[in-house]
């Protein structure tokens, strides 16, 4: 499965990796970043509708989909959000975009947060979907968080433990993630799910996704604390969307948390679980069009 025409596919050299990218449309560039354990295809119900207003760019993050899965290092810097953000700047430059807006879901939202902090001169407006900031979540860990987000603590285990266990049945693991994190009755396109499974099932992809989470529990927190100590916050307008039936809504005063990190922010809950672009695509399209057209 691919995004339909008018989307075109190409591979972009970005730093030390090759990034699989689909892009289409005209107007202001809008970068859409996927989450775990998916690929750029998670935008398949949303992306085409946005091409009338925006030049839409949908990449696979490093370690995911058909993008490169580089070797890791002891500090997991290869999968830091800082490195992933730098990849996306390189992708946008290769496509001719020096300035752009960005919307990210799940892990892609964490890359979006880092893009806003590291490249304030490039990111004009941003949207994060169904996350609270990584630093806030780790610093406020309790039993409810450890239970609901058990994978954060499972995937960071060393010595190949999660890789081995997931690798025994990656199809089951991925489909269970979709089921457990979505609202009851969520409708996922079978062809898209099959593509997620294809990409995720490769041993190097499982390892890369674990490295993503290991980075989040280590080097990413170092970067986040450095930003906090320096008083750096998201300075562009930020839209925050989250699922009313999901963990984030149950656990956090979402806008209160985000306004500590991004003073110029707005947002609301949508009637869905975690996977907003697939569970509530019409609402997502409406919200993104309204917010990004404003700029």
Pick from 146, 156, 103: which is nearest to 128 by CA? 103
Pick from 81, 86, 83: which is nearest to 122 by CA? 86
Tokens, residue 210: 């674990």
Instruction: Note the helical H segments in 119-252.
Output: 134-139, 143-148, 150-154, 161-167, 170-181, 190-200, 203-216, 219-230, 247-251
pLDDT at 294: 75
Domain count, the chain: 1
Residue 36 within a domain: yes
C-alpha distances in Å from residue 256, one per residue of 96, 108, 133, 251, 284: 36, 21, 12, 12, 21
**101 and 29 in contact (C-beta within 8 Å)?**
yes
Q: Are strands 17-25 and 8-14 parallel, antiparallel or unpaired?
A: antiparallel
The question of whether 106 is a catalytic residue gets the answer yes
pLDDT at 79: 98
pLDDT at 234: 98
pLDDT at 90: 98
Neighbouring C-beta atoms of residue 89, cutoff 10 Å: 20
3-state helix, strand, coil in the chain (%, to 5): 50, 20, 35
Rounded to two decimals, the pTM is 0.98
For residue 17, what are the contacts with CB-CB under 8 A and spacing of at least 6? Answer: 62, 67, 68, 70, 87
Residue 3 within a domain: no
C-alpha distances in Å from residue 58, one per residue of 207, 220, 280: 23, 23, 19
CATH of residue 247: 3.40.50.1820
Structural domain boundaries, residue 253: 8-294
Residue 121 within a domain: yes
Q: What is the pLDDT along the chain (295 residues), one digit of tens a residue?
A: 999 999 999 999 998 999 999 999 989 999 999 999 999 999 999 999 999 999 999 999 999 999 999 998 999 999 999 999 999 999 999 999 999 999 999 999 999 999 999 999 999 999 999 999 999 999 999 999 999 999 999 999 999 999 999 999 999 999 999 999 999 999 999 999 999 999 999 999 999 999 999 999 999 999 999 999 999 999 999 999 999 999 999 999 999 999 999 999 999 999 999 999 999 999 999 999 999 997 6
Angle, alpha carbons 182-147-225 (nearest 5°): 95
60, 66, 106, 227: the catalytic one is: 106
Tell me how many helices (H) and strands (E) the chain has.
15, 8
Residue 31 within a domain: yes
Residue 2 within a domain: no
The question of whether 212 is a catalytic residue gets the answer no
- HSE on the CB side for 141, CA within 13 Å? 11
Compute φ and ψ for 10, nearest 5 degrees.
-155, 165
Residue 154 within a domain: yes
Pick from 189, 27, 45: which is nearest to 105 by CA? 45
**CA–CA distance, 98 with 92 (Å, rounded to integer):** 7
Residue 44 within a domain: yes
Compute φ and ψ for 290, nearest 5 degrees.
-60, -50
3-state secondary structure at position 244: coil
């Amino acid at each position: 499965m691919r995004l339909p025409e008018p989307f075109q596919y190409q591979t972009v050299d970005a730093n030390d990796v090759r990034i699989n990218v689909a892009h289409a449309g005209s107007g202001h560039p809008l970068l859409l970043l996927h989450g775990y354990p998916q690929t750029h295809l998670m935008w398949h119900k949303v992306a085409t509708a946005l091409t009338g207003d925006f030049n839409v760019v949908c990449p696979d993050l490093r370690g995911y989909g058909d993008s490169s899965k580089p070797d890791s290092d002891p500090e997991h810097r290869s999968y830091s959000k800082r490195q992933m953000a730098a990849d996306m700047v390189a992708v946008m430059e290769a496509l001719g975009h020096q300035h752009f807006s960005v919307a990210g879901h799940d892990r892609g939202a964490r890359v979006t947060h880092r893009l806003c902090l590291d490249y304030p001169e490039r990111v004009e407006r941003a949207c994060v979907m169904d996350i609270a900031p990584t630093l806030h979540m780790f610093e406020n860990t309790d039993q409810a968080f450890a239970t609901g987000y058990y994978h954060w603590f499972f995937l960071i285990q060393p010595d190949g433990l999660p890789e081995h266990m997931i690798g025994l049945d990656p199809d089951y693991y991925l489909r269970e993630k979709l089921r457990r994190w979505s609202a009851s009755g969520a409708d996922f396109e079978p062809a898209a799910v099959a593509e997620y499974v294809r990409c995720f099932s490769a041993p190097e992809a499982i390892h890369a996704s674990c490295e993503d989470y290991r980075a989040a529990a280590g080097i990413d927190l170092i970067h986040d604390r450095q930003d906090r100590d320096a008083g750096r916050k998201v300075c562009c307008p930020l839209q925050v969307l989250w699922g009313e039936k999901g963990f984030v809504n149950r656990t956090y005063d979402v806008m209160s948390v985000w306004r500590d990190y991004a003073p110029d922010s707005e947002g609301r809950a949508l009637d869905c679980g975690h996977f907003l672009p697939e569970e509530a695509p019409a609402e997502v399209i409406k919200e993104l069009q309204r917010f990004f057209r404003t700029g």
